[in-house]
Amino acid sequence: MNKNLKKNKQAGFGLIETLIYIALMAFIIGGGVMAAYYLIDASEQGGDTVNTNAEAEFLLRKIDWVLTGADTIFIPTPGNTSLTLYLFNDNITLNNITVGLSDGQAYIERGDGQKDITGDRVLIENLQFEHIPATGGKPAGIKVTFTADGEPYVTTKYLRN
C-alpha cells in the first residue's frame, strides 16, 4: 500500500505556490514600471529646463550679434526703455534691424522680412531694451531683460565702435 501512495504523488507546484509566485512577479514588474515612469518623468522635467536655458541663451547671443558694431540705435532713445530694438548696423547685410516680441516669441526683422528667433516650446515675455547713454567716458549700452518660461534673464551690451 505504501507503494501506491508514492506513485500517486506528482511533482510540480501546488495552487498556493503558484499564486505566491504570480504575486511576487506582479510586485517586481509593477515596481519596475513605476521606477521607469519616474525616471522618464524626471528626465522630461530636466529637459524643459535645458530647453528654456538654450532658447534664452540663443536669444541673448542673437541680440549681442545684432548690437556688435551697431552704428546707430534709433529705438530706444538714450535714457529710455522700449519693447523693440531698432538699429542700423553697417556690418550686417540688410542692415536696418528690429528685434522684438510677438505672441511669446522673439523675432528679428531685416529687409528680407520678420523671422522668429525663439521656438514655440519656450514662452518669452517682458522683452525690454533700455538704452544706457554714454557718460563720463563710458560707452553707451543696451540692457536687455526678459523672462523665458518665468525665469528672468538680464544682460548688458556696451557699444564700442
Helices of type H across 68-128: none
Q: According to the model, what pLDDT value does residue 2 have?
A: 56
**pTM for the whole structure:** 0.67
Let me know if residue 10 belongs to a domain: no
What's the number of domains the chain is made of? 1
62 falls within a domain: yes
Please tell me the predicted confidence (pLDDT) of residue 122.
Answer: 87
Predicted local distance difference test score (pLDDT) of residue 147: 93
pLDDT score at 38: 83
Q: Give the per-residue pLDDT at 6.
A: 56
pLDDT the model gives residue 92: 72
Kindly report, residue by residue over 28-44, the tens digit of the pLDDT. 999 889 988 888 877 76
Question: Over the stretch 83-102, which tens digit does the pLDDT of each residue have?
Answer: 999 988 776 766 788 999 99
The low-confidence residues of the chain, meaning pLDDT below 50, are: none
**Does residue 105 sit within a domain?**
yes
Using CA atoms, how far apart are residues 38 and 33, in angstroms rounded to an integer?
9
The alpha helices in the chain, defined as continuous H runs, are 2-8, 15-67
Q: How far is it, in rounded angstroms, from Cα 67 to Cα 159?
A: 7
Residues of the domain holding 129: 55-158
Q: What angle do CA 96, 100, 106 make, to 5 degrees?
A: 120
Does 23 fall in a domain? no
Cβ–Cβ under 8 Å, residues 115 and 134: no
d(CA 39, CA 44): 9
Q: For position 69, what pLDDT does the model report? A: 80
Specify if 122 maps to a domain: yes
Residue 10 in grid coordinates: 506528482
